[in-house]
Amino acid sequence: MTSLRKWHRLTSKIPGQIYLWLAIVIFGASSAVTRKLTEIGAKHFMDGQNPISLCNVLFVGNLCALIVLVIIYRRQCNKTVLKQISRQNWYILTIIAILSGAIAPGLIFQALALTNVNNVILVGRLEPPLTLALSIWLLKERVYFWEIVGAIAAFIGVTLTIFLQPLDPAMINMAGLHLGLGELLAVAGSLAVAVATLISKKYLSVIPLGIYTIFRTALGTVIFFLLALILYGQDHFMGVFSPFLWQWMLVYGVVIVVLGQSFWLKGLRDSTVSMTSLIGSFTPIVGILAAYLILNEAPTQAQYIGGSLVFVGIFVSQLGTWHQTRQRVALEQVRSMQAQQEVETDVGFKGI
């Protein structure tokens, strides 16, 4: 037996939940790691620019992710499968790629530049309640009582996190309410992802997950690059070829993108929907701990109050998931693209 077969035999014995926990640790820490990398880059300016700017991290990180996705899903990308996708589905997939692959991550990364990581993590929890509300309103989906209660609690928690922030000169005054620009951008990013998720659930459940993710990542990267050039000018990506940037992005890409995505996909295949959703709900807790350990960013009073309600909402939502599980005759494996998209919505920002 070769070493490769021994390794495969060893890893196949590891429960899917272990892979999910490893992925959640990586994904939860991604925001803090991203901010830390930009701080490192700020100490090593090149030609008057930060080589590890948030735009460079997002652009190069997406390229790394695209390479990984092509390797994982290369068998799905054949002419036979591609020809089966209608022109209408390609148009819809293009809209989703722009929303979730370019606009949403761009807004979230910009939010990371303007507010602390804990705010971005907690405000990002607005995404699941928004998706749930839009699904009920537009798709007429049936949901359980505890899911609605959990979504309402999480929504109130996010709202308190935003409005209980200490006054800052950079805040925007809207009808007497002082809102931080970073928090508003995080809300906009969550809304963009929620809309993209809703569209994909309604129209794209027949498209293979590999083609969906590869196209979304590839087109999203191109659109983000073009938008950044229009908004910030031609010199904005001057540091993208910096050896110092790629030195760190190789670490970022291997850990956040390659290992994170690989553990996540492996865990999805070997775990149930309810287990995956439960483990994914711990992402904000891991993120806040990572922000404290990596950035020494302790939660504020507003974050404690709002975050507590967010976590209550997550716990209550899990009651709904457990209730659904008990009604099933047998637990199903997470194999469909739609189920994976719904679970990924609960996880939130994954660094790319």
**Cα–Cα distance between 299 and 287 in angstroms, integer?**
11
Instruction: Read off the amino acid at residue 233.
Output: G
Give the model's pLDDT for residue 44: 83
Q: Is residue 2 part of a domain?
A: no
**Residue 204 or 304, more confident:** 304
Count how many Cα atoms sit within 13 Å of the Cα of residue 229 in the half-sphere of its side chain: 10
Inter-residue contact 4 to 262 (CB < 8 Å): no
Q: Is residue 4 part of a domain?
A: no
**Residue 259 or 327, more confident:** 259
The encoded tokens of residue 315 equal 């716990």
Q: Which tens digit of pLDDT belongs to each residue from 280-327?
A: 778 888 899 999 999 999 888 889 999 999 889 888 877 766 666 655
**Residue 8: C-alpha distances to residues 11, 51, 242, 264, 333 (Å):** 5, 39, 37, 17, 21
The region, left, alpha or beta by phi > 0 then psi within -120 to 50, assigned to residue 48 is left
Confidence tier at 348 by pLDDT (50, 70, 90): low
Q: Is residue 142 part of a domain?
A: yes
**Cα–Cα distance between 218 and 220 in angstroms, integer?**
5
**Cα–Cα distance between 308 and 313 in angstroms, integer?**
9
**Residue 347 or 121, more confident:** 121
**Cα–Cα distance between 298 and 313 in angstroms, integer?**
22
Confidence tier at 137 by pLDDT (50, 70, 90): confident
Instruction: Read off the amino acid at residue 288.
Output: I
Q: What is the mean pLDDT of residues 94-110?
A: 91
Confidence tier at 10 by pLDDT (50, 70, 90): low
Give the model's pLDDT for residue 189: 92
Q: Is residue 6 part of a domain?
A: no
Give the model's pLDDT for residue 96: 92
Cα four-point dihedral sign 336, 147, 347, 332: negative
Q: Is residue 8 part of a domain?
A: no
Q: What is the mean pLDDT of residues 50-70?
A: 84
Beta strands in 89-193 (DSSP E): 172-174, 177-179
CA 328 and chain centroid, separation: 29
Cα Dmax for the chain: 71
Confidence tier at 192 by pLDDT (50, 70, 90): very high
Q: Is residue 215 part of a domain?
A: yes
Summary mean pLDDT of the chain = 80
Inter-residue contact 288 to 307 (CB < 8 Å): yes
pLDDT-wise least confident of 205-219, 247-261, 338-352: 338-352
Q: How many domains does the chain have?
A: 1
Count how many Cα atoms sit within 13 Å of the Cα of residue 302 in the half-sphere of its side chain: 16
Q: Is residue 245 part of a domain?
A: yes
Give the model's pLDDT for residue 91: 94
Confidence tier at 92 by pLDDT (50, 70, 90): very high
In which domain, by residue range, is 270 found? 16-347
**Cα–Cα distance between 119 and 111 in angstroms, integer?**
9
Tell me: pLDDT of 237 over 90: no
Give the model's pLDDT for residue 296: 92
Give the model's pLDDT for residue 178: 53
Tell me: pLDDT of 334 over 50: no
Inter-residue contact 286 to 28 (CB < 8 Å): yes
**Cα–Cα distance between 231 and 322 in angstroms, integer?**
46
Percent of the chain's residues with pLDDT above 90: 16
Give the model's pLDDT for residue 94: 95
The encoded tokens of residue 217 equal 């990542």
Q: Is residue 10 part of a domain?
A: no
